[in-house]
Structure 1
């Protein structure tokens, strides 16, 4: 019974009896780099867009 509960908790990303924010370490190792990469790409895109809007004379965004 405990093995089934353990598997169920691992599938959900948490262990039974632990809070929700206590993420499984294997899950963190699997998805951590991708999350960091995604956050970095989104941040760079947002910063680049903000800089482009702040300085339109250097990099015109609407030039067609």
Structure 2
């Protein structure tokens, strides 16, 4: 398993957490998504390394901005 933490901008509430968790969690190979709302961090555990573009697109689809990995 591989765990990577991403910095996401714009999340402010529980709905934000659910949106990001749902979109990122739908990526192939993702096992777990944990969102730290206060810190703006999304920690993703996956079976293999995720393509940063796929993660960025999933976060964007949820309505937020991926700042860094």
TM-score under structure 2 normalisation?
0.25
More helix by share: 1
Higher relative contact order (CA 8 A, sep 6+): 2
